Amino acid sequence: MSTAPRIPSWLRRALKAPLRAGRAVVAQVGLIGSGDPEAEAFGYFGPGAALLWPQGVIYNQHYVHLGAGSMIGPNTALSVGIAPGQEMVTDPVITIGERTIIGRGSHIVGHFSITIGDDIQTGPYVYITDQNHVYEDPLEPIGTQRPVEAPVVIGSGSWLGANVVILPGTELGEHTTVAAGAVVRGTFPSHVVLGGVPARIIRRYVEGEGWVAPE
């Protein structure tokens, strides 16, 4: 049973407008934009780029390049390496192009190389990583086996639906659509629609023929 005091309906209605106005102010103040001190910690933070409030876990952001006009949704994690202060063998590790929008609650976890192109949009809760655990020794705990890394490339103009998982070694061509919930690994050409677990080509665009089913 709730112990919160019951608020009279007239008071609840009266408080709605200032509450929403306060939330809008907090969102504006909490936003990280170009020129803010927090933005200067990034390897590159383009003009007009923004990380919306509240931000998710962010560390080693000096290995992250964020292109002009790109927007990172609320509660999105941008992490490089395993822990803050770790030195990486590549720089940048995470590159996000211009005018790209990453949906709320997403995780971009880089250890070697993640390149996300221009004009990309994602739904919420997308997970992109260039490192994964292996299961080579069945007698050793999986978490203690040395992980493998492989670069990830997502071509410009693409769309990733909600809850998409992009695994190490994935390379997507330009203008690729990935259906919600797909788990993607491998190399795929431009102008295709992917879906499923594991992801496969559902249809592709052929110049002169239009959209066709996969061969």
Residues marked active site are found at 133
Residue 48: Cβ within 10 Å count? 14
Nearest CA-CA partner of 53 in 73, 37, 34: 73
Upper half-sphere CA count for residue 187 (Cβ side, 13 Å): 2
Three-state SS for 23?
helix
Residue 60 DSSP SS3: coil
CB 195 within 8 A of CB 182: yes
Could you tell me how many helices (H) and strands (E) the chain has, helices first? 1, 25
